[in-house]
Amino acid sequence: MSLEPSLDGTTVDLASPSPAAASGPVIDTKYLRRLMHDLSAPTRHVSFFSGFVDEALTEPLDLDDARRSLQTVRTAAERMQQLTNMVSLHMRSIETLHATAANPNQRFSEEAYGVAELVADAWQKVGGDASVLTVQGDTKTCVDRSLLEIPIQQVLRNAISFAEESRPLKVVVAIQQTSDMISVAVEDNGIGFDTQYAEKICEPFECLGTGKDRREGAGLGLTVASLVIDALAGALKLQSDDKSGTKVTMSWPHHCKEAASDVE
């Protein structure tokens, strides 16, 4: 028997879960509450401003007001789409890792491929300008390509999203391999982040940047990235001086035979 707070602040007795219930899936209600909170604001905007435009059509039309309302609706709809897309990616990543948990070897392929090529492909998929990206070094990995592409894309997307408007964006990706590990360091010259929040950045719905520097990200990019890298027995490290950029380093065991991991 345990005590839990009820909605009115009192406590109620809850029976201890049965062994069968305890072994079942755990629903992260905090995650769901935060998701519904983040979706509620753009949903209200779509509802309210759509109605505003509808009413305006029955009266003398103020084009400026109508355009502003339509822009608000469009922005809110894009925000909802961004959130739902990232939540879908998060869930797919969890499902993939859960499905391979019993046999982690399924997360690796027989054939090695170049990490630099994967970085270039991921940069193109997130809409990056080729002239902005510099890739230094290369090696090969046997991590399933579709799985490794997830954290690479999310880190590169953040570099674009958190660019500093006062200077041209530059992104440098350094790829290195030791005898045991592969590392990919993505360094940009964007707005950086306050290092006092470093421990929370990879938590769901936590966004880089505060105040005027807060961007409209979903707050799930680094969550998904760290989820995948952790599952590969790797590590994700973030560094910033809080004013001139961010460096994100992902590292994982290369899992390839020595001959396969060398770049030709």
SS (H, E, C) 121-158: HHHHHCCCCHHHEEEECCCEEEECHHHHHHHHHHHHHH
User: Is 177 among the domain residues?
Assistant: yes
How confident is the model over 185-234, as pLDDT tens digits?
999 999 887 766 666 665 655 665 544 445 455 567 788 898 899 999 99
Residue 49 above 90 pLDDT? Answer: no
Q: 72, 99, 126: which is the final residue of a domain?
A: 99
Higher pLDDT, 136 or 158: 136
My answer on whether 90 and 123 are in the same domain is no
What's the mean pLDDT in 110-137?
95
Question: Of 99, 116, 134, which marks where a domain is finished?
Answer: 99
Closest to 116 (Cα-Cα) out of 170, 181, 188, 184: 184
Six token digits for residue 22: 């305890």
Q: How many domains does the chain have?
A: 2
State which residues form the domain around 251: 104-261
152 exposed, middle or buried (CB, 10 Å; 0-12, 13-18, 19+)?
buried
pLDDT given at position 18 = 45
Q: Is residue 48 pLDDT above 80, yes or no? A: no
180 and 121 assigned to the same domain: yes
Mean pLDDT of 64-77: 74
Together in a domain, 52 and 128 = no
Residue 245: per-residue pLDDT: 87
The model's pLDDT over 146-163, given as tens digits with 9 standing for 90+, comes to 999 999 999 999 899 888
Q: CATH number of the domain at 256, please.
A: 3.30.565.10
Token pair in block for residue 14: 């809850």
Q: Is residue 5 over pLDDT 50?
A: no
C-alpha span between 252 and 260 (Å, rounded): 16
The residue among 93 and 79 whose pLDDT is bigger is: 93
Confidence bin at 76 (pLDDT 50/70/90): confident
- What was the pLDDT predicted at 6? 41
Q: What confidence tier does 47 reach under pLDDT thresholds 50, 70, 90?
A: low
**89 and 202 in one domain?**
no
